[in-house]
């Protein structure tokens, strides 16, 4: 969850900045900038988990709205966790596969 909220994780923009990638492109949809915001709000690869998250906390998935929702009620906090875990696991797995070649 911290990775999604801070942008420090398996995001092309972050990996490029720390020289672990040669491009910031999203490997899941070819968007030019793979950022935490792109992953959280826009990447079509995560549409289904995003739909489930929106049902639980509302339409807006801006980071500040997510934090507000998490602080508002425990059930909303609990709803954010599976989204973050599922998406970040998939992104990490894809990154490992790219490294292996």
Per-residue pLDDT in tens (0 to 9) along the chain, 101 residues: 899 989 999 999 999 999 999 999 999 998 899 999 999 999 999 999 999 999 999 999 998 999 999 999 999 999 999 999 999 999 999 999 988 97
Q: Which domain holds residue 7?
A: 1-100
Could you tell me the sign of the dihedral formed by the alpha carbons of 55, 57, 59, 62, in that order?
negative
Single out the residue of 53, 49, 50 nearest to residue 79, CA to CA: 53
User: What per-residue confidence (pLDDT) applies to 11?
Assistant: 95
Can you read off the two tokens belonging to residue 16?
């490029």
* Total domains present in the chain: 1
Round to whole Å and give the CA distance between 39 and 53.
13
């Amino acid at each position: 969850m911290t990775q999604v909220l801070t942008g420090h994780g398996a995001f092309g923009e972050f990996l490029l900045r720390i020289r672990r990638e040669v491009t910031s492109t999203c490997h899941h949809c070819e968007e030019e900038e793979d950022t935490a915001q792109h992953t959280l709000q826009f990447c079509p690869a995560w549409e289904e988990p995003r739909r489930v998250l929106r049902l639980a906390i509302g339409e807006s998935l801006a980071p500040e709205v997510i934090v507000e929702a998490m602080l508002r009620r425990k059930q909303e906090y609990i709803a954010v966790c599976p989204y973050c875990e599922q998406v970040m696991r998939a992104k990490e797995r894809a990154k490992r596969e790219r490294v292996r070649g």
